[in-house]
Structure 1
Amino acid sequence: MPQLDFANPMVLAQAVWLLVIFGGLYFILNSYVLPQVATVLEDRAQRIAADLDAARASKLSADAAMAELQAATAKARAKAQSAIAAAVQQANAQAQAQAEVLNARLAEQITAAEGRISASRDAAMASLRSVATDTATALVTRLVGRADAAAVDGAVGRALSARGSL
């Protein structure tokens, strides 16, 4: 290959200048450029580490806040359940008291009604003998023409006794 003919003085000069230029470039890069790049990379790594630390701290703070929120929510929920249970218990007690009052009033009314019914029945049963006697006397008088009051009263008494009505 003619490009690598080191016997030619032109190729040798080019090779020397190549080494000089690369050496100078290496010296400039090594002395000025690469330290600045290293500094930038180191600053960037420190900034990323600081950001990661801040993110970890924020996450811990958020986790603590979430735990506190959950605890407060659980406490509020328990308090609400307690209040609801107390309200239900109070409502049941009031309903029970009202039911007892109503039951007592109804029992009084039932007793009074039973007393009135019993009095009405006794009055009806007492008047039943006279009504039956008057009816029987009227029927016998109508059929026969005259009625013996003592005989009709005795027959009505026997009929009522047989039925258990009097």
Structure 2
Amino acid sequence: MTGAAGARGGRDGAGLSAEAVVRLRLVIGRLNRQLTRASGHQDLTAAQLSALARVEQHGPLRLGELAAREGVTVPSLVRTLAPLTAGGLIARSPDPLDGRSQLLTLAPQGAEALARIRRERSALLTRRSTRLSARQCRELEAALPLLELLLDEPEEPEGPGEPAR
């Protein structure tokens, strides 16, 4: 089945239908790639961009704190941060509470890069949204809290035979 009726069909009372999951995944993936291309002249990987945004949101952070928030190992994060530090996007300073540690903060150049990328990606969505009717725009805006709920669930690995939580 296709269309809205097909997206609602096939449910067992919880969650999206298999077709709706596939469609949502494809839409999110394709839109993400298009947003990435909209700021294509950036030389940042997805991991680097995520680290920059996380430092902006939660900084100053110790390396281990940032690694935990990013869900990566410290050695992996060190490789991710090396070009950001060398490029002047991330600044390191001594931790006043622990002289052996350093704090990571967003450098002004990093803040400018994030702002530019966000502007370029927002411009793409703004242009695309002009193709929608006023009703469609309201419907999309009404769906945003639901999409945001998909972000809120903590990621817990599922073992074989374990039910999803």
Common fold by TM > 0.5: no
Higher share of residues assigned strand: 2
Higher share of residues assigned helix: 1
Higher relative contact order (CA 8 A, sep 6+): 2
Given the two structures, how large is their TM-score scaled by the length of structure 1?
Answer: 0.19
Query: If you compute each CA radius of gyration, which structure gives the higher value, 1 or 2?
Result: 1
